[in-house]
Amino acid sequence: MPDFKILILGGYGQTGLALTRLLIQETTVSIVLAGRDITKAKLAAEALNNQLSTERVGACYADASEASTLTSAFKGVGLILVTSSTATYTRTIAEAALNAGCDYMDIHFGLSVYTQLQQLESKIREAGRCFISGGGFHPGMPAIMIRYGAMLFDEIHSARTAGLMKIDFSTYNASTSTRIEFVEELAGFNPLYYTKGKWKKMNMLTGNGMRTFDFGNSYGNCRCSPLFFEELRPLPQQYSSLRETGFYIAGFNLVTDYFIFPFIMLCLKIVPRRFNSLLAKLMVWSIKTFTRPPYGYVMKLEAEGLKNGREKNIQVWVRSMDPAFITAVPVVACLKQYLKQNTRAAGLQVQGQFAEPVLFIEDCRRMGLEVKLSE
């Protein structure tokens, strides 16, 4: 689709730049880097055009808090890709996309974003637009990995995914707004896992519902808490033999996990939003101070079931050392499928259910993520 244009809101951030490089490499679309700092956007676009020997990257001004700037920026654009820390303005961005006749995708992980989009679901469908939420590493990959694993069984019984993030803040310069948004989304932490025919909530006091996953020689066994994403909800209906499923997240370190995070969540319930900037600084300090190498990012699937009448167990691993890259690759793998569809399914969707699993996993491997399957 040589005439198709994608506007990346927050395009000059680390993830936005990684997305642009991959989209230029993997597709023929044009890219517009948009944000509140037009100077940064123009400099980033110029640098990318020089580095990639192209003229397909442009820049424009857009402020998510001002709908009028979005209306102007979205003209002539096919899809809006939201990578900026603008969860609060999700409805404003989505309505501007609908008014401009654009499709939409975001890489937000919080429940608040999907809730805001759900309120517009009928308008999205009536407008014939394709909206994809929850793009990236997690959410975005857990349901796809489970669906990929299910294809290797005649009957799948259990499928659990687990994620590990060991952040090196000396090299990962997340913006202040990104850190604050992460803290705010902790208030919506939903520790659900599926077992014995129903979704069950982890006991926050006893830890009942947590599981231990082996993340390999570099990281070893890690205790993980369940974390619900919307992409997981349809899985028990999609696979009637599935008895247990869910996504589990490993902690950062003992101090952050057992002291700092509980304190932050308590503050968010007592005085929501009042001290979020200070809480974000506290969180980053604790991760930076107490998290030790090796650093890296891992997603793992552990699945069990029957194949040819015999019990079978599999593990699928996806790894990277770069947080921006491991977020960008799955998004581009999803968008490659989106761009190939002559008629896109209208409505609100999530990446974990939108993408076809086999092609998605193969594209992720080809673009540079380490993917390993073991039985």
In the prediction, which pLDDT does 158 show?
A: 97
What is the rounded average pLDDT of the residues 345-369? Answer: 96
Helix axes 261-270, 176-185, angle to 10 degrees: 80
What is the rounded average pLDDT of the residues 75-88? Answer: 91
What CA–CA distance (Å, rounded) separates 272 from 329? 34
pLDDT, tens digit (0-9, with 9 covering 90-100), for 36-55: 999 999 999 999 999 999 99
Q: Which superfamily does 142-321 belong to?
A: Dihydrodipicolinate Reductase; domain 2 (3.30.360.10)
Is 342 a residue whose pLDDT tops 80?
no
What CA–CA distance (Å, rounded) separates 243 from 75? 47
192-195/198-201 β-pairing: antiparallel
Which position has the higher pLDDT, 375 or 202?
202
- What are the structure tokens assigned to 299, written together? 């997603």
pLDDT, tens digit (0-9, with 9 covering 90-100), for 264-306: 888 877 877 677 788 888 888 888 888 888 889 999 999 999 9
370-374/103-106 β-pairing: unpaired
Spell out the domain ranges in the chain: 5-137+324-357, 142-321
Q: What is the CA radius of gyration of the chain?
A: 20
- Please count the other Cβ atoms lying within 10 Å of the Cβ belonging to residue 150: 21
Is 150 a residue whose pLDDT tops 70?
yes
pLDDT, tens digit (0-9, with 9 covering 90-100), for 320-333: 999 899 999 999 99
The angle subtended at Cα 242 by Cα 239 and Cα 246, nearest 5°, is 105
- What are the structure tokens assigned to 348, written together? 């609100």
Is 239 a residue whose pLDDT tops 90?
yes
In the prediction, which pLDDT does 163 show?
A: 96
Do 5-137+324-357 and 142-321 share a fold? no
Sign of the alpha-carbon dihedral angle for 131, 370, 178, 165: positive
Highest mean pLDDT among 94-108, 207-221, 280-294: 94-108
What CA–CA distance (Å, rounded) separates 31 from 81? 10
Write down the mean pLDDT value for the chain.
Answer: 91
Check if the beta carbon of residue 150 is closer than 8 Å to that of residue 73.
no
pLDDT, tens digit (0-9, with 9 covering 90-100), for 154-191: 999 999 999 998 888 666 666 666 776 677 666 677 89
Sign of the alpha-carbon dihedral angle for 332, 188, 292, 143: negative
What is the rounded average pLDDT of the residues 192-215? Answer: 93
Structure-token match 């101090």, residue found: 255
pTM of this prediction?
Answer: 0.92
Fold of 5-137+324-357: Rossmann fold (3.40.50)
